[in-house]
Structure 1
């Protein structure tokens, strides 16, 4: 774990698409030099089409644009959608593009799950919000609850450097190097950025090379250091043994530990295992709140009065052991307090607190199923390291009408 704390940042919490999309689209509309954007999901709906429009407009006025999407998360973009971006010079990169096998998507594991935007090297966005209409309340009961941050200050240079390293390494098809190398040049870039706020912050990534456990380690260190409170809101919560041990220890030493989790998990194994997970945590004094208003997609947390994190990483086997993820970790009292207020509002108005008596008792086959699912899910992060690792391949997006040209030496 080699992340560096950088002082002097201004970091603003953005809640849901209503706050996130207008800010990102406005910054892209004002871009003069460059836009680098990574996302797991880009759908061709009203949000994706609005992004499409602002990217095309920026490219036409000479802005260099690199758009990276995941081959599993964004599989159904039309030739017209992609081709019109390529026509104006947008460089589209696809992580792990694999053709369907008998109609099934087989590139399920090790996804590019990051959501990052850097504009002109001056402003960055990091979080969990994808470019799809289901992040807006008017989508209906299935609209997602989620978060991102807008960043100004010296940390932007670090995020900017990381996005370019990811592009370069991906197209060379090599295993990730330590992206903070050449520290002198990074340090010079950071020193050239003005201090604009009070937040110290760091970008923490998870990859399949040198940073396989960094995000989880930051969580565990912060939980171990907590003396007053731990609040975690996470859509898919099934961490490994060490993470669970730190939570139980914190609660037993008197820390107010609260979890905001999905009321209706969408994976059957999680539903089965949750009963034992809840029993283990409640028995140690952890308070659990199920978010019932709509699907929870957030990946945020805070500890005590200063530490907070917002990012793309769930606390489950996929995010902790397989996916490419990015979180920003922040030390700032003002940000921590604002996030705490928003999460406490969620718990008061949109959550149901789980009580021990609500769980009932487990008997027979139900007990066996819960036990097996619980221990499989918690041990899976360790087992996942045995699975084959994708080198983070990036390929240029192609449309059917462009492939013949490219195959005969045409320019991208």
Structure 2
């Protein structure tokens, strides 16, 4: 009879998880704020290579004169992470204000000893989204997935890269790593600074919003854009609206493609209107079940004429959403339910045609490293894969 008690305990735990998650999500949505920023004009550079990104980022940090504000989901305890920390310590010793926010679970390899060393050397480091009682399961699931850097209030970085050797192509399984990051200079940086300081207040319990040091005068750049921060709400509404208004072309790139029913409905309607839909996903996977979790959605879209590409050369981690020649969205949010409904994310809506043209060229270059996926490929998967699909379907919001 012992096995009956094991089953009862497992059912109780599962029920507890469900209740915890339901109450936590409901409470969070009730308190969530949908912040909107105006359309700004800045100069924006697209960076699709980890080595190029960190060369530019570290150079800008090295040149900082007043303040360095950084938020990452993941910083690894490896040689790149150590180089990153040493650079921040160096700048702190020069008298520069250095603030660093890390997601508590994403950066779980950063130990208390490392945190103390950074604090002792003048780097102010705080963790975001620590698991908390009583809704422990929900708090574990909701992560701060943002990657924001603001230097001297004048230069900003935003995108999909984290800090670790895999992001500079030194992980044999996932190399080369394809991702998209933005370097922003111009008036739009003030909104990134505001968003960073909101996360800083939550993590460090310190208000810095009204300090002019962090908001220097900024000149307009050449590209129209709009910061798009989200906290478990709003992405679904905005993306569904953009899809509904599409006329010619939609391009989606995401490492995890697990859309909502509402977004799927809009994508199917767009295909029926004659809009071309191209989706780029990785062939390799870095997390369990996420690849299989996408299959049922991809089958449906393939049956309605979508083009699906599986990136073959390394790992595709890019997050891009393009509509016609009017919009390019790049940032931290994946095209999945976790980003839509759980995580704290931050994207940039870019309306500049020259940037969109450049981004489209990058995507086309990536497609040369991708294979065309056919519906027959997904219809003929193994029984084991079908079982994994079923499991993934039941926990899609957590993948």
TM-score between the two structures when normalised by the length of structure 1: 0.79
Equivalent residues of 1:122, 1:152 under 8 A apart: yes
Which residue of 185, 188, 203 maps to 1:155? 188
SS in 2 for 1:11: strand
1:331 is aligned to 351
1:120 aligns with 2:152: yes
Contact 2:240 2:266 in 1 (8 A): yes
Aligned with residue 337 of structure 2, among 300, 308, 317 = 317
Unaligned runs of 5+ in 2: 1-33
For residues 302 and 278 of structure 1, what CA distance do their matches in structure 2 show? 18
Per-residue deviation at 1:374? 6.6
Aligned to 2:219: 194
For residue 359 of structure 1, report the CA deviation from its aligned partner.
2.6
* Alpha-carbon distance between aligned partners in 2 of 1:60 and 1:145, rounded to the nearest angstrom: 34
Given candidates 28, 37, 52, the residue that maps to 2:85 is 52
- Is 1:376 aligned with 2:387? no
2:30 corresponding residue in structure 1: none
SS at match of 1:142: coil
In the TM superposition, residue 193 of structure 1 has moved relative to its aligned partner by: 2.0
Aligned to 2:37, what secondary structure does the other structure show?
Answer: coil
1:41, distance to aligned residue in structure 2 (A): 0.6
CA distance in 2, matches of 1:125, 1:141: 27
Name the stretch that deviates more: 79-88 or 296-305: 79-88
Q: Which residue of 1 aligns with 2:376?
A: 357
Instruction: Rate the CA distance shift 1:137–1:65 in 2: closer, same or farther, 3 A.
Output: same
For the 8 Å contact 2:179–2:317, the answer to whether it is kept is yes
Aligned counterpart in structure 2 of residue 206 of structure 1, from 222, 227, 230:
230
Structure 2 Cα separation of the partners of residues 96 and 31 of structure 1: 28
Separation in 1 of the partners of 2:381 and 2:163? 41
- Mapped to 1, the partners of 2:116 and 2:384 lie a distance apart of 54
Contact 1:317 1:377 in 2 (8 A): no
Residue by residue over 1:70-97, the C-alpha shift from the partner in whole angstroms, topping out at 9 and shown as x without a partner, is 1111112245533332122111001234
Verify: 1:133 aligned to 2:162, yes or no. Answer: no
1:5-404 counterparts in 2 under 5 A?
5-78=38-111, 81-97=114-130, 108-143=140-175, 144-172=177-205, 192-197=217-222, 199-207=223-231, 212-348=232-368, 350-361=369-380, 369=387, 372-373=390-391, 375-376=393-394, 380=397
- Work out the CA distance in 1 between the residues paired with 2:111 and 2:385: 45
- Number of aligned residue pairs: give it: 359
CA contact (8 A) 2:258 2:293 kept: no
SS of residue paired to 2:227: strand
Q: Calculate the TM-score normalised by the size of structure 2.
A: 0.82
Instruction: Say if 2:256 and 2:291, in contact at 8 Å, map to a contact too.
Output: no
- DSSP 3-state at the match of 2:335: coil
Q: Taking CA–CA contacts closer than 8 Å with sequence separation of 6 or more, which of the two structures ends up with the larger relative contact order?
A: 1
The CA RMSD over aligned residues, in Å, is 3.0
Distance 1:353 1:304 in 2: 22
The 1:365–1:88 alpha-carbon spacing in structure 2 relative to 1, beyond 3 Å, is: closer
Partner SS state of residue 288, structure 1: strand
Q: 1:234–1:122: structure 2 CA closer, same or farther, 3 Å change rule?
A: same
> Which consecutive segments of 4 or more residues in structure 1 shift more than 6 A?
362-367
Structure 2 equivalent of residue 406 of structure 1: none
Q: Which moved more, 1:369-378 or 1:292-301?
A: 369-378
Task: Give the whole-Å Cα distance in 1 for the aligned partners of 2:154 and 2:385.
Answer: 54
1:108-141 deviation digits (Å, cap 9, x = unpaired): 4111111000000000001110011101124434
Task: Give, in whole Å, the separation in 2 of the partners of 1:149 and 1:166.
Answer: 20
